[in-house]
Structure 1
Amino acid sequence: MKKLVNSNQMKKIDSYSIETIGIPSLVLMENAANQVVTTMQKNITKEDIILVICGSGNNGGDGLAIARILLNLGYQVDVFFAGKEASMTEETHKQMTIIENLDMVIWNAIDEINFANYTILVDALVGIGLSEKLTDAYKQIVEKMNHHEGSIYAVDMPTGISADDGKIMGIAVKADYTITFGHHKIGQVLFPGSDYCGKLIVSDIGFPPVAMDSIHSKYYSYDKKDLEKLPKRKAYSNKGTFGRVLVIAGSENMSGAAYLSAKAAFRTGAGFVEILTTESNRSIIQTQIPEAVLTTYNPEQLNEEKEKIKKSVQQADTVVIGPGIGVSKESHQLLDLVTLYVEPPVVYDADAINLISEYYNTFPLLRNNTCSRLNEFSNTLPPYSIITPHLKELARLMDKDVRELQDNLLDTADRCANDSKLIYAIKDARTIVTHKDDRYINHSGNSGMATAGTGDVLTGIIAGLLAQGLEPFEAAKMAVYIHGLAGDYAASQKNEYSLIATDIIEALGEVMK
């Protein structure tokens, strides 16, 4: 697990290390500079000509120390001090004195510099402390840097990116490498900030673990060590040991979503998968996935089919409803029946979410409410169910504009979790899984997964993990992470242009070894 921090939390970790533990600030600065230089040395040569661009704060102090270490190692390096002498921190002032004593070239005006003379730039202008848009002077510097043809190394954070949410503060440096210190910053994981970081390296500069314990961050991501949380497979077992999934999906002559969700549940380890779909899909489903038990219904005779549906729902360890069922009055009635009968946690996906949004005032479980739409939705569905909306579906449910949700993704996650017993997997380029006070931000996956059917695959993975006994919140987080890992593996075998949903299913075996 990787904790994610915002700028204020990182400053508290820094202050705790210095003031409470007693680590001198200049020691941390020296460690940071050495880590940046170590990273740079893997890619640069003594033929490179390096310009280190520094501001007045401690990020600029890091940059001055980097320049000095590079010089001592025999590299060709100059400094551009873009800050104000009167605004220097104590540490940065000390680093500047050392630089001056070494008679290094120090530029003070952008008009004096020909950026084309340098092959490498180091961005040490601002770091994580940016809270407002860049000044015109800094904008001009960033523009020059972005037009530069060589590599750019950002110190802690590319200038112009908010460490808190990844937003661009007017303009931002497009780095090739970002060396950040101590912990991942939220703005380095969320887009667009993630794109501006280039290759992100998290370096240990000596913050003691107790410093991290001094703050509370509700944001985190997973890494491959977290795959140990997958359900263990018992040697003495049968198909019932690993759970029964019911996938309620598909509509007339639309079988693809049901197939993808069911197969993903099998590939994730579910022992038994039943598909409940319309009679028109019988022959194709039986051909596509013979391993699944098939139960069909006539959508025009749902009153007569109640007992059959009830039996399927009540036999299941977990239920998926929504992929490809459409938003007709028949699918509306089906959703109503299932929600009334179901007991285990449910995965509500796709058209199930759209149905509740469209028929909100006529949905028996939700009408005649006094609460807001979102809160009442949260409080009337089976507790600990998992809702998997992409932003457009969530916008319909919340009766908001998509752009508003997209521009305030962290706030959106907070609103979904507020007083809710449900788990929301808010699907975006960085999916956020939210429940109560926890926010999991997923970092696996790639652009090739932006294709039809991948959401159906995720739904099946969640259901497969639920059926095997993972707690709902853990199942949702782990499923999102595995889904992205499988997408990354599939893209490495093919490419991001050619990826399709079934490639992700086939890659599950590799990432879950």
Structure 2
Amino acid sequence: MFFRLISSALLLRVANVWGGGVMTSGAKHCSNVRLRYLTQKEAIALDEDLFNEYKYSVNQLMELAGLSVATAVARVYPPSTHPSALIICGPGNNGGDGLVAARHMTLFGYKVSIHYPKRTEKPLYQNLLSQCEAFGVDIVEYLPAPKELNNEYQVLVDALFGFSFKPPVRKELATAMNALIETNLPVCSVDIPSGWDVENGPGTGKALKPTLLISLSAPKLCAQDKYIEGVKHFLGGRFLPPGIVSKYYLRLPHYPGDDQVVQLSC
């Protein structure tokens, strides 16, 4: 009986470690894990490992990331209070995450629009855009003035630049970048607030100030509290193999229940 009780206790402990305890999906849960943050070089290498060593495809990771983004946005700015959303997409993987998020957000009940100023000709991105159009997502070719944006939408999603960004902002993307900086609307940034240094945050100049940050896979150095104080912070991307976690010495929070995102700050 003694050994049976010990075994049961150990099994319960393991379940709590891997499943985040007995929290159910949708319950409010804030992690207090002391995180490890990635450098830009580590973030790039981790992605390459996922592709090369663990055989993930770009499509897979983009779909999982976009779903995580849509879920986190809905947790903080639900369609019941913020029914109209504009997603600003860049030409890289971060923009692809935004295209996926747009499709999921329409299914969550949002009226979604996309601004995609520099489109990528790769079939993956063309397919994602076609899917958005099939779901009724409005494609906005020209951004209105910030005041008009404030009147037309209730929340913006920043999917312009990811962790590969290096300044300066290209001319064809400057209007989109300025809109994100100047708006009075809440801005939800995908993985990295656009225009920020991946390791050193917003810098001293004019910079985007998101109200929500959704880190993907693992948070980067610019997501430290000293840079995002007062910003709601979620982690998404519940797909990292144990080998990746070990290789990069990651300290990650437990995802509650079957959730795809976990809140890092309340």
Judge same fold: TM > 0.5, yes or no. Answer: yes
* 1:163 aligned onto 2:229: no
SS at match of 1:110: coil
**Cα distance in 2 between the residues matched to 1:222 and 1:65:** 24
- 1:319-330 paired onto structure 2 within 5 Å: none
- 1:373-392 paired onto structure 2 within 5 Å: none
Q: Is the 8 A contact 1:13 1:214 kept in 2?
A: no
Which amino acid is the alignment partner of residue 213 of structure 2?
Answer: T
Say if 1:211 and 1:221 are closer, same or farther in 2 by CA, change over 3 A: closer
Which amino acid is the alignment partner of residue 149 of structure 2?
Answer: F
Q: Deviations over 1:248-297 (max 9, x none)?
A: xxxxxxxxxxxxxxxxxxxxxxxxxxxxxxxxxxxxxxxxxxxxxxxxxx
Partner in structure 1 of residue 41 of structure 2: 8
Partner in structure 1 of residue 163 of structure 2: 128
**Cα distance in 1 between the residues matched to 2:238 and 2:70:** 13
Q: TM-score, normalised by structure 1?
A: 0.39
Show structure 1 runs of 4+ deviating over 4 A. 220-223
Displacement of 1:164: 2.2
Which amino acid is the alignment partner of residue 158 of structure 2?
Answer: D
Q: Deviations over 1:206-242 (max 9, x none)?
A: 1213124445x7xx8999xxxxxxxxxxxxxxxxxxx
Partner in structure 1 of residue 142 of structure 2: 109
Partner in structure 1 of residue 228 of structure 2: 194
Which amino acid is the alignment partner of residue 39 of structure 1?
Answer: A
SS at match of 1:21: coil
SS at match of 1:184: coil
Q: Is the 8 A contact 2:79 2:108 kept in 1?
A: no
Which residue among 86, 94, 97 is the counterpart of 2:127?
94
Q: Is the 8 A contact 1:82 1:125 kept in 2?
A: no
- 1:491-506 paired onto structure 2 within 5 Å: none
Say if 1:55 and 1:127 are closer, same or farther in 2 by CA, change over 3 A: same
Displacement of 1:137: 4.1
- 1:445-456 paired onto structure 2 within 5 Å: none
Q: Deviations over 1:69-93 (max 9, x none)?
A: 111222111111122334xx55433
Which amino acid is the alignment partner of residue 51 of structure 1?
Answer: L
Say if 1:83 and 1:32 are closer, same or farther in 2 by CA, change over 3 A: same
**Cα distance in 1 between the residues matched to 2:118 and 2:85:** 19
Q: Deviations over 1:104-131 (max 9, x none)?
A: 2111222589412001100000121212
**Cα distance in 1 between the residues matched to 2:109 and 2:252:** 40
Partner in structure 1 of residue 72 of structure 2: 39
Which amino acid is the alignment partner of residue 207 of structure 1?
Answer: L
Partner in structure 2 of residue 138 of structure 1: 173
Q: Deviations over 1:124-151 (max 9, x none)?
A: 0012121222234434323322332321
Pairwise CA RMSD: 2.8
- 1:347-386 paired onto structure 2 within 5 Å: none
SS at match of 1:5: coil
Identity of aligned residues (%): 21
Which residue among 87, 95, 98 is the counterpart of 1:60?
95
Q: TM-score, normalised by structure 2?
A: 0.71
Q: Deviations over 1:392-447 (max 9, x none)?
A: xxxxxxxxxxxxxxxxxxxxxxxxxxxxxxxxxxxxxxxxxxxxxxxxxxxxxxxx
**Cα distance in 1 between the residues matched to 2:241 and 2:133:** 33
Q: Is the 8 A contact 1:160 1:171 kept in 2?
A: no
Q: Is the 8 A contact 2:36 2:219 kept in 1?
A: yes
Q: Could you list the runs of 5+ residues in structure 1 that have no partner in the other structure?
A: 224-513
Say if 1:112 and 1:140 are closer, same or farther in 2 by CA, change over 3 A: closer
Q: Deviations over 1:22-50 (max 9, x none)?
A: 12222221111221222222232245210
Displacement of 1:166: 1.7
Partner in structure 1 of residue 84 of structure 2: 49
SS at match of 1:128: coil
**Cα distance in 2 between the residues matched to 1:18 and 1:42:** 30
Displacement of 1:4: 1.5
Q: Is the 8 A contact 1:160 1:169 kept in 2?
A: no
Q: Is the 8 A contact 1:6 1:163 kept in 2?
A: yes
Q: Deviations over 1:307-363 (max 9, x none)?
A: xxxxxxxxxxxxxxxxxxxxxxxxxxxxxxxxxxxxxxxxxxxxxxxxxxxxxxxxx
Say if 1:118 and 1:183 are closer, same or farther in 2 by CA, change over 3 A: same
Displacement of 1:178: 0.1
* 1:76 aligned onto 2:111: yes
SS at match of 1:153: strand
**Cα distance in 1 between the residues matched to 2:123 and 2:204:** 27
Q: Is the 8 A contact 1:13 1:207 kept in 2?
A: no
When you count helix as a share of all residues, which structure comes out higher?
Answer: 1
* 1:177 aligned onto 2:249: no
Which amino acid is the alignment partner of residue 147 of structure 1?
Answer: E
